[in-house]
Structure 1
Amino acid sequence: MDTIASLFSFITYPVSWVIVQFHTLYGAIFGDDTGWAWGLSIVSLVVLIRICLIPLFVKQIKSTRNMQVLQPKMKAIQERYKSDKQRQSEEMMKLYKETGTNPLSSCLPILAQSPFFFALYHVLSAIASGKTIGVIDQPLLDSARQAHIFGAPLAAKFMDSPAKVEALGASLTDVRVVTAVMIVMMSASQFFTQRQLMTKNVDLTVKTPYMQQQKMLMYIFPLIFAVMGINFPVGVLVYWLTTNVWTMGQQMYVINQNPTPGSKAQNQYLERLLKNVTAHGEVRGRTRRNTVKRIVAKGSDRNDIERKFITGLAKLGLAAQEDGTVTKSDTALAEAEGGSAQKRQQPKRQTKAKRQSGTTQTGAAQPGAAKETDSTKSEAKTSLQKQDDKPKPAGKPASGSSRQAKSGQRRGPQRPKHPSKK
């Protein structure tokens, strides 16, 4: 970890400068050597970084949704060109280009945070070793080494030896209890963030391997953080726990205000929107109007949840407009009432016994037809007898009946072959 952190040493100066500026602010309130001053400085560093990364987070959401929509097409390409990997890759890149999707966009926030994360780790490792780094001079270094969060020094780790912990002025028990609690909270926040994404903000109508992959990551990521967390200093655990809580809150906002089409969250959102329109008779708020505008623009491509919302408006006598507003419409109400009418039921399939009994009754109800059938049968029988009475050609055995004719021959008496064909 120290080797990786040293690769990002070029950014340790700006990171240490930001921490010192926040420490000056909080030190005036809580005291320079307190854990509150240094801990809140790290928390403020996280908040500042995450605010700067909001555009990347928006791009991540769009990329993730596009990937979910493209999963059926991607699966079809894989099955069609499963024996030609090069053609498969070309078709995938063509699909990404046509839809404007970048698979790496979903990883941008994590990749953008990595330099700051490792730079902070490098700064805290230097504090634990008693070395000045960046803008942290000797007085600030002594102040940081004295700062404790619930009895654990900022630079202490779960796996530190008792001698190293005592050198930082703390007990091994306090350090391990505090770090263990923070590791559990960090892993739990990561699990909850991924879980609410899978259970609420995924299109349930699309069953693809991508969903199974995300479900596996829901359990794998917390385990990875738990294993790595025992080697993180307390200050880094504060950083990572803060960024997980920020991600969880940011995602909850997105799920509630801009859910994925076809997801459980969209159903809940449109139900709340319908209640709001029922109470006020109009769509309030630019975000809500934009939602209605997108649903109207879809036309026949709406999913079941969106069609249910439009039907709910129609039952209120309202029609959604292209600009996202709603207006009163008697036609919409009539269409809703017509759509809610009971559908014509298909006749039930009868059993074999009932069909046979029905056929027998039909035959009994039409005696004339039965007589006609009997007379037809008798005429056919008479004609067959006449054909049997005709003299048969000599030298040819009697054929008996038409059932004994060979396959491919006409039934009844055969026409004699022409002498040239004998």
Structure 2
Amino acid sequence: MDTIASLFSFITTPVSWVIVQFHKVYGALFGDDSGWAWGLSIVSLVVLIRICLIPLFVKQIKSTRNMQVLQPKMKAIQERYKNDKQRQSEEMMKLYKETGTNPLSSCLPILAQSPFFFALYHVLSSIASGKKIGAINQDLLDSARQAHIFGAPLAAKFTDSVEKVTSLDASLTDVRIVTAIMIVLMSASQFFTQRQLMTKNVDLTVKTPYMQQQKMLMYIFPVIFAVMGINFPVGVLVYWLTTNVWTMGQQMYVINQNPTPGSKAQDAYLQRVLKSVTSHGEVRGRTRRKMVKAIVAKGSDRNDIERKFITGLGKLGLAAQEDGTVAKSETAAADAEGGQAHKRQQPKRQTKAKRQTTGHATAGAKDTESAAAGSKTSLEKQDAPQDSKPKSAGKPASGSSRQAKSGQRKGPQRPKHPSKK
């Protein structure tokens, strides 16, 4: 603990000072020794830190978009080197370097708030040990030790002994129940955050290492938090649960307002835009117009979801414009109707027995047609008039049936000139 304190001493004092300032505000409302005053001070610290991390979150979103743009190239690399995993990884890293994309950018907010997390952990541990730290003097230390949240002291942990919990004026049962519930909520919120990212905001048509990384984090992070949570003080659990809920809400907002191209979230978003256009006859909102503008700029590179949206506008007699608005267009409506009319219908697949029955019936029909054709030919020969003149039994006419010799013309020969006899 002393080693950690020395590593994060540069931030321990600012964190403790911020908690004290928030405690002054909430202490005036709930009382200085109230668990709500100290708990809300920690929640406010989380909110302040996450607001400061918004630029990093924006960078994370941009990096995620770059990953989506690179997915066709990544798929081509996978297909080209599918039998050579090492070369495939080398080409992927080369592509990341050329485009300035970092596949680990999703971890930036967690890494950035890690120093604050360890600083808060050390502050709460010092409170549990009865030691002054940073801006927390003796009076504030005594007040924090008396603060309870649902019967559990801020500095108590799941693994604490009965003697230690008793020294904090609490029961071991209350501490373990409260900490267990908070650990479960913390892990569940982390899992849900990663799951909604994987199921709603990822282009599932392309399999990339980025997707494998996110899928791995979806299962690993909740387990890590659950294992580590039993050693976290209640105050740290409040901190981490709050930051997980913030991340979940922030991500839900981004998924609903700026979904990844080709994802289920984009399909749902464009359906909402289409419904709004149907009701109002225009694209409302700057964000929506920006999205439509980006789709128009793609041209033939649109994905299936975006083409479906453009077709839906055409059925309404509207066409998307370059500035993100829509305008009436008879051509768009005709193209949409024509594309729907010429849509290829796939024949239903027949069973083996039905195919055999159809084959036998076809063969029988062909045999019947052949027999009928033969009978008709025989009747025609019988009804044909016989030639009354008998054929001559003599030699055939010259040049009519004999083959001409090589170099001579067929048919009757022209008589030679008298002078050449």
Q: TM-score, normalised by structure 1?
A: 0.80
Q: Distance in 2 between matches of 1:111 and 1:29?
A: 34
Q: Distance in 1 between matches of 2:311 and 2:130?
A: 68
Q: Which moved more, 1:140-149 or 1:342-351?
A: 342-351
RMSD: 2.8
Matching residue of 1:109: 109
Matching residue of 1:148: 148
| Equivalent AA in structure 2 for residue 314 of structure 1 | G
- Structure 1 residue 303, shift from structure 2 partner: 1.1
Matching residue of 2:81: 80
Q: Distance in 2 between matches of 1:35 and 1:360?
A: 96
- Structure 1 residue 68, shift from structure 2 partner: 4.5
**Is 1:235 equivalent to 2:235 in the alignment?**
yes
Segments of 5+ residues of structure 2 without an aligned counterpart are 379-421
Q: Which moved more, 1:299-308 or 1:195-204?
A: 195-204
Matching residue of 1:183: 183
Q: Distance in 2 between matches of 1:231 and 1:150?
A: 19
Alpha carbons 2:314, 2:336 under 8 Å: kept: yes
Alpha carbons 1:157, 1:232 under 8 Å: kept: yes
Matching residue of 1:297: 297
Q: Which moved more, 1:225-234 or 1:161-170?
A: 161-170
Q: Distance in 2 between matches of 1:40 and 1:345?
A: 62
Q: Distance in 1 between matches of 2:60 and 2:42?
A: 25
Alpha carbons 2:198, 2:215 under 8 Å: kept: yes
Segments of 5+ residues of structure 1 without an aligned counterpart are 372-422
Matching residue of 1:97: 97
| Equivalent AA in structure 1 for residue 199 of structure 2 | T
Q: TM-score, normalised by structure 2?
A: 0.80
| Equivalent AA in structure 2 for residue 157 of structure 1 | K
Alpha carbons 2:296, 2:322 under 8 Å: kept: yes
- Structure 1 residue 73, shift from structure 2 partner: 3.6
Matching residue of 2:167: 167
Matching residue of 2:120: 120
The 3-state SS of whatever aligns with 1:327 is strand
Matching residue of 1:399: none
**Is 1:218 equivalent to 2:180 in the alignment?**
no
> Does the C-alpha gap of structure 1 residues 346 and 64 become closer, same or farther in structure 2, counting only changes over 3 Å?
closer
> Does the C-alpha gap of structure 1 residues 76 and 336 become closer, same or farther in structure 2, counting only changes over 3 Å?
closer
Alpha carbons 1:314, 1:335 under 8 Å: kept: yes
The 3-state SS of whatever aligns with 1:319 is strand
- Structure 1 residue 156, shift from structure 2 partner: 0.7
| Equivalent AA in structure 2 for residue 308 of structure 1 | K
> Does the C-alpha gap of structure 1 residues 197 and 345 become closer, same or farther in structure 2, counting only changes over 3 Å?
closer
Matching residue of 1:389: none
**Is 1:320 equivalent to 2:320 in the alignment?**
yes
- Structure 1 residue 232, shift from structure 2 partner: 0.2
The 3-state SS of whatever aligns with 2:319 is strand
Matching residue of 1:264: 264
Matching residue of 1:136: 136
| Equivalent AA in structure 1 for residue 236 of structure 2 | V
Q: What does residue range 9-20 of structure 1 map to in structure 2 within 5 Å? A: 9-20=9-20
> What is the count of residue pairs matched by the alignment?
370
> Does the C-alpha gap of structure 1 residues 81 and 284 become closer, same or farther in structure 2, counting only changes over 3 Å?
closer
Q: What does residue range 37-56 of structure 1 map to in structure 2 within 5 Å? A: 37-56=37-56
> Does the C-alpha gap of structure 1 residues 2 and 140 become closer, same or farther in structure 2, counting only changes over 3 Å?
same
Matching residue of 2:306: 306
Alpha carbons 1:145, 1:153 under 8 Å: kept: yes
- Structure 1 residue 92, shift from structure 2 partner: 2.9
| Equivalent AA in structure 2 for residue 320 of structure 1 | A
Query: 1:253-303 CA distances to partner (integer Å, 9 max, x unpaired)?
Result: 011111111111111111111111111111111100001001111111111
Matching residue of 1:244: 244
| Equivalent AA in structure 2 for residue 134 of structure 1 | G
Q: Distance in 2 between matches of 1:270 and 1:353?
A: 52
Q: Distance in 1 between matches of 2:246 and 2:346?
A: 55
**Is 1:286 equivalent to 2:277 in the alignment?**
no
Query: 1:350-379 CA distances to partner (integer Å, 9 max, x unpaired)?
Result: 965566567667867888xx99xxxxxxxx
Higher Rg? 2
| Equivalent AA in structure 2 for residue 333 of structure 1 | A
Alpha carbons 2:103, 2:210 under 8 Å: kept: no
Matching residue of 1:157: 157
> Does the C-alpha gap of structure 1 residues 8 and 362 become closer, same or farther in structure 2, counting only changes over 3 Å?
farther
- Structure 1 residue 331, shift from structure 2 partner: 1.3
Q: Distance in 1 between matches of 2:346 and 2:85?
A: 48
Q: Distance in 2 between matches of 1:227 and 1:22?
A: 30
Q: Distance in 2 between matches of 1:300 and 1:21?
A: 57
Q: Distance in 1 between matches of 2:239 and 2:258?
A: 28
The 3-state SS of whatever aligns with 2:11 is helix
The 3-state SS of whatever aligns with 2:134 is coil
The 3-state SS of whatever aligns with 1:28 is helix
Matching residue of 1:277: 277
Q: Distance in 2 between matches of 1:346 and 1:120?
A: 64
- Aligned-pair identity in percent equals 83
Q: Distance in 1 between matches of 2:88 and 2:330?
A: 52
| Equivalent AA in structure 2 for residue 255 of structure 1 | I
Q: Which moved more, 1:313-322 or 1:94-103?
A: 94-103
**Is 1:329 equivalent to 2:320 in the alignment?**
no
Q: Distance in 2 between matches of 1:235 and 1:337?
A: 62
| Equivalent AA in structure 2 for residue 26 of structure 1 | Y
| Equivalent AA in structure 1 for residue 243 of structure 2 | T
| Equivalent AA in structure 1 for residue 81 of structure 2 | R
- Structure 1 residue 111, shift from structure 2 partner: 0.6
Alpha carbons 1:72, 1:208 under 8 Å: kept: no
Q: Distance in 1 between matches of 2:347 and 2:204?
A: 33
**Is 1:67 equivalent to 2:67 in the alignment?**
yes
Matching residue of 2:383: none
Alpha carbons 1:5, 1:121 under 8 Å: kept: no
Q: Distance in 2 between matches of 1:88 and 1:347?
A: 40
Alpha carbons 2:68, 2:261 under 8 Å: kept: no
